[in-house]
Amino acid sequence: MGRVWRTTTVRLTAMFIAIFVGFAVVLLAVLAYQTSVRIQQQQTRAIEREVDHINLLSLRASVRTVAFAVQRLADRPGPGIYYLGDPTGTMIAGNVSSLPAAILSEPGRYELSYERGLEIYGEVEDTPRMQGVAIVQSGELPNGLRLVVGRDVGERRGFTAIILSTFWWGALAIVILSVVAGGLTARYVLRRIDAITDTSNKIMSGNLSERVPLTGSDDEFDRVATNLNAMLDRIEQLMAGLKQVTDNVAHDLKTPLTRMRNKAEAALRPGADRDVQIAALEATITESDHLIRIFSALLLIARAEAGMPTGALSRIDASEVVEDVVDLYTPVAEDEGLTVSTEVEPGLMMTGNRELVGQALVNLVENAIKYGKPAQGGAGDISVSARRQDDWIVIEVADRGPGIPEESRSRVFDRFVRLEGSRTDAGAGLGLALVAAVVRAHDGTVRFADNDPGAKAIISFPAAPREN
Amino acid sequence: MKILVIEDDRDAASYLMQALDEAGHVAHHAADGETGYAMAEGMDYDVLVVDRMLPRRDGLSIVEALRAQGDATPVIILSALGEVDDRVTGLRAGGDDYLVKPYAFTELLARIEVLARRNSPAEAQTHYQVADLLLDRLSRKVTRGGDLVNLQPREFRLLEYLMKNAGRVVTRTMLLENVWDYHFDPQTNVIDVHMSRLRGKIDKGHEVQLLQTVRGAGYIIRE
């Protein structure tokens, strides 16, 4: 539970409660204050009107009439407070039982507590007396009588109390609801986050096949989880690839290293004559060149797979690259008794790295030359084509060799894979892996198809938008 | 030729110094960037061989500083960083050539000798001549002993490059770089096939073979 209180949701809820309560306090305080002021103003004005009225009356009427008028006012039900007395302090009319002498002698406005009753006539002895707080105005009439008019303020105070209690109950309800809602939300969020944390902990402890569970609601957590899972798939795939590569590197680098060592030992063998020594040293250099080549290819693949630095990309003419590579390799193919035919649309522009695309094509053409001789003799033709197809540049390198068995067509792009029958060749099984890495780095695709007979490598690169 | 080698690896440097000496050059050595820069600044060298990663000051910054001072001495950058963008940054810094480690000494030597004569008059010549082989760069015609030799455009460029550097060894990678503008290492004998075709066209039927193979290094065209 302690963790729930530390969540963002709870912090946000607390913040919203604070803001809301603060806002409500200000709003209600302003409302209460203004209402109170307004009621007070009305009461004061009513008092002033009555005082003026009685003042006027006392100018032209007898004391008796004035007393009657005051008593009539006093007898009305309501918050009014009235007192009329002579200068000696004897009450003539009104509805208060007693007033402090100070108020009667000194005209002005006061707030006081009072007792109210009808004992002026003494008719109803057991009339319940009301007590309250009032604002009163005391003064002297032109005929020398003392007049006090006032209003009970209990009503006003009651109103403020209602507002205050409304506020307290409201605030309490809001706080309780928010705490409950915030706590529930926080627990829900925490549960989803915990699922992700759990998964990542399991993955960190080595179980790469763990995935974040989905609720199927397609909410933001599901979307994050889906992305995380996709990322994990990719990582798992890369890790599996890396493991396979490590195993293969161990084998494919140790073998030539051993050969190299053997040759160096042969050169040092006592009694070896100079010709043998020179041959052994030359073989050592050949082996080390072979190793360097494997090493460079691996680095190049790793670099291409890690994604291309943007500085290495530019707008290149794929048609030109294809023509260059064909131009470079046609004599080699012809020496091997193969013909090369090309069909290249001019001006196929793409965004890429000329060196890498060229290298990939070279690898495909070298493969076609190496494995493209027809098994039963006959004309061996390597055909290279490049064309635009919708938004893609499609490059095909096809031969008339034995082809690649369907079940091996995707495997040949893995590192160090050599198919049966080619295992004795000098290559390291990295050529097609490099092709695949280069193609992937250019957001393209590569696959092998049947050339019937023969193998046909098909590469697609996204075409660059036509320049206007 | 006077060459400055700025290389921090003691073994590699001593081998280079000895091999350059045997090839008839005067070679000086600096083991760190600051020393190398001071030496390059203070003396007049024909070629600088600069390792890219050096203690105290890296190779690229040395080249940049020299170029900023208007020093145009040819520079070969040596580097273990051999990816496409590494080469581009190396040349952009002012390097004239970029050689990826590990390399064969013959490769470095060939490049040093070609670079050192880069600003020789051969660069501006309109025609090259080796014995009775004549190449006209303007009309793009080649004759051997007065007979016209019919060359494909690429063969012409191959021969042009060889004749521009007549008397000096050019390696297979130099040919691939300068004639095809690719920097990778072809697995097959692709350059040899082109060379044997070219040889068939210019040397066949002649007593003197001008286009010669230098074992373990490359090719040379000479009388």
Over 90: is that where the pLDDT of A422 sits?
Answer: no
Residue A351 DSSP symbol: E
**Lowest-pLDDT range of A261-265, A316-320, A380-384, B121-125:** B121-125
The stretches in chain B having pLDDT less than 70 are 82, 84, 119-124, 186-187
Length of chain B: 223
Alpha carbons within 13 A on the beta-carbon side of A199: 16
B88/A332 Cβ within 8 A: no
Select from A296, A363, A425 the residue whose CB has the most chain B CBs within 10 Å, as the one to mutate to test that interface: A296
Over 80: is that where the pLDDT of A56 sits?
Answer: yes
- Other Cβ atoms closer than 10 A to A393: 25
Ranges for all domains in chain A classified under CATH 3.30.565.10: 311-462
Distance of CA B91 to the CA centre of its chain: 14
Does A418 contact chain B (CB < 8 Å)?
no
Over 80: is that where the pLDDT of A117 sits?
Answer: no
Chain A residues with beta carbon closer than 8 angstroms to that of B189: 332
Contact A349, A328 (CB under 8 A): no
Over its C-alpha atoms, chain B yields an Rg (Å, rounded) of 19
Select from A322, A356, A359 the residue whose CB has the most chain B CBs within 10 Å, as the one to mutate to test that interface: A359
Ranges for all domains in chain A classified under CATH 1.10.287.130: 220-305
Which numeric CATH code is attached to A311-462? 3.30.565.10
Does A332 contact chain B (CB < 8 Å)?
yes
Instruction: Provide the pLDDT for residue A179.
Output: 82
Architecture of domain B121-221: Orthogonal Bundle (1.10)
User: How far B206 CA lies from chain A's nearest CA (Å)?
Assistant: 23
Q: Residue A377 — very low, low, confident or very high, per pLDDT cuts 50/70/90?
A: low
Instruction: Provide the pLDDT for residue A467.
Output: 63
Q: Which residues pair with A197 in a beta bridge?
A: none
Instruction: Provide the pLDDT for residue A427.
Output: 59
Instruction: Provide the pLDDT for residue B126.
Output: 84
Instruction: Provide the pLDDT for residue A119.
Output: 43
Instruction: Provide the pLDDT for residue A123.
Output: 45
In this prediction, residues A416-431 reach a mean pLDDT of 62
* A337 φ/ψ sector (left φ>0, alpha ψ -120 to 50, else beta): left
Over 80: is that where the pLDDT of A132 sits?
Answer: no
Nearest CA in chain A to B82: A296
Does A425 contact chain B (CB < 8 Å)?
no
Q: Residue A156 — very low, low, confident or very high, per pLDDT cuts 50/70/90?
A: confident
Instruction: Provide the pLDDT for residue A317.
Output: 92
In this prediction, residues A292-312 reach a mean pLDDT of 76
Over 50: is that where the pLDDT of A409 sits?
Answer: yes
Nearest CA in chain A to B215: A282
The edge-to-edge listing of strands for the beta sheet with A91-94 is A91-94, A80-85, A146-152, A130-140, A108-116
A203 or A419, which is more confident: A203
Chain A residues with beta carbon closer than 8 angstroms to that of B197: 331
Residue among A311, A328, A369 whose CB faces B180 most closely: A328
Instruction: Provide the pLDDT for residue A418.
Output: 67
Residue with tokens 């080390």: A288
Asked if the ipTM is above 0.95, the reply is no
- Angstrom distance (rounded) from CA A288 to CA A258: 11
A317 or A255, which is more confident: A317
Residue type, A451: N
B184/A358 Cβ within 8 A: yes
Report whether CATH 1.10.287.130 matches the domain A220-305.
Answer: yes
Does A331 contact chain B (CB < 8 Å)?
yes
Contact B77, B90 (CB under 8 A): yes
Nearest CA in chain B to A295: B102
Over 70: is that where the pLDDT of A148 sits?
Answer: yes
H or E element at residue A119? none
Report whether CATH 3.40.50.2300 matches the domain B2-116.
Answer: yes
B184/A355 Cβ within 8 A: yes
Nearest CA in chain A to B85: A312
Ranges for all domains in chain B classified under CATH 1.10.10.10: 121-221
H or E element at residue B4? strand B2-6
Chain A residues with beta carbon closer than 8 angstroms to that of B83: 299-300, 303, 312
Ranges for all domains in chain B classified under CATH 3.40.50.2300: 2-116
Distance of CA A357 to CAs A311, A364, A457, B158, Å? 15, 11, 14, 23
Residue among B185, B194, B216 whose CB faces A331 most closely: B194
User: How far B171 CA lies from chain A's nearest CA (Å)?
Assistant: 15
Instruction: Provide the pLDDT for residue A122.
Output: 42
Does A307 contact chain B (CB < 8 Å)?
no
The predicted model scores a pTM of 0.64
- Angstrom distance (rounded) from CA B37 to CA B48: 10
Residue among A329, A358, A426 whose CB faces B190 most closely: A329
Nearest CA in chain B to A299: B83
A355/B84 Cβ within 8 A: yes
Select from B188, B189, B195, B197 the residue whose CB has the most chain A CBs within 10 Å, as the one to mutate to test that interface: B188
Instruction: Provide the pLDDT for residue A461.
Output: 92
Task: Say if residue A142 is preceded by a cis peptide, omega within 30 of 0.
Answer: no
pLDDT tens digits along A24-55: 788 888 888 888 888 888 888 988 898 888 88
Residues 349-388 of A with CB under 8 A from B: 353, 355-356, 358-359, 362, 366, 369
B186/A312 Cβ within 8 A: no
Cβ neighbours of residue B167 closer than 8 Å, sequence gap 6 or more: B220, B221, B222
Residue among B83, B85, B182 whose CB faces A358 most closely: B182
- Which residues of chain B are at the A interface, by a Cβ-Cβ cutoff of 8 Å? 82-85, 88-89, 100, 102, 104, 154, 180, 182-190, 193-194, 197, 216
Residue with tokens 């990582």: A235
- Angstrom distance (rounded) from CA A466 to CA A452: 35
Over 50: is that where the pLDDT of A424 sits?
Answer: no
A280 or B82, which is more confident: A280
Nearest CA in chain A to B83: A300
In degrees and rounded to multiples of 5, residue A213 shows phi and psi of -70, 145
Instruction: Provide the pLDDT for residue A343.
Output: 92
Instruction: Provide the pLDDT for residue A121.
Output: 42
Q: Where are the beta strands (DSSP E) in A418-454?
A: 445-450
In degrees and rounded to multiples of 5, residue A391 shows phi and psi of -95, 20
